[in-house]
Amino acid sequence: MTERIPVIEGLFTEGPEGPRLLGSRCVTCATPYFPKSLACHNPSCTEGRMEDAAFGPRGVLFSSAVQNYPPPPPAKYDEPYRPYAVGMVDLAEGLRVLGRIDTPDPSALRGGTPVELSVGHLYRDTEGRDVVTWQFRPC
């Protein structure tokens, strides 16, 4: 079986409850952060104590576009290049996240569509491993 590795360690998990993004939240003002933040950046926050938090899987698509042309480095993709959808998703926890949208018809996506977090293929690395990242799919 092909070895599966995350694009970057520690950004997401695929536990028994399903995929989650690993971030943090300010205990004082409840601002969510992904990836984890050492400090709260909310200028209205008075204290800014941080705790670990997991986000997902439910969200709503704010908007999307299609990356019709191969993006510049440091993006990576399999050859031959296949266009993919990218979107901004508002998670139920109050976090707006960028991610690829896993859909067969990228240009048919519409804002307001309910989506859920998943983990999927990003590219195959030089050692033949399946490099995966967080993404969303309409649900």
Partner 1 sequence: MTEVAVLGVGMHPFGKFEDKSVTDLCRSAVTAALADAGVSWREVEAVAAASSRFSGGKGWGLNGNDVVEDMGSTGIPVYNLSAGCSAGGNAFNIGCTLVASGLHDVVLVVGGEKMPKGFIQTSGVEEATDPEFLRQRCVGVSGPAFWGMLCRRRMEDFGTTEEHLAKIAVKAHANSVHNPYARFRKPFSMEQVLTSPMVCFPLRLYEICPVSDGAAAAVLCSARFARQKTTKPVWVASSAVATARFDDGITRHVAAASPTGPTLHSEAKIAVEKAFERAGLGPRDMSLVELQDNTVYYELAFPEEWGLCAPGEAERLVERGETGPTGRLPINPSGGFQSFGEATTAMGVFQVAELTWQLRGEAGGRQVPQAKAGLGQTIGLGGNATAVVLKR
The contact set with partner 1 (CB under 8 A) reads 7-9, 11, 21, 23, 31-35, 41-44, 62-69, 71-77, 84, 86-88, 90-91, 94-100, 106-107, 110-112, 122, 133-134
Residue 130 is encoded by which pair of tokens? 């399946």
Q: How far is the CB of 27 from partner 1 (least distance, A)?
A: 15
Measured between alpha carbons, how far is 11 from 27 in angstroms, rounded to an integer?
20
CB of 17 to partner 1, least distance (A): 20
**3-state helix/strand/coil string of 8-76:** CCCCEEEECCEEEEEEEEECCCCCEECCCCCCCCCCCCCCCCEEEEEECCEEEEEEEEEECCCCCCCCC
Rank residues 16 and 43 by Cβ distance to partner 1 and give the closer one: 43
Structure tokens at 57: 């899987």
Q: Which is nearer to partner 1, 1 or 47 (CB)?
A: 47
Pick 92 or 139: Cβ nearer partner 1: 92
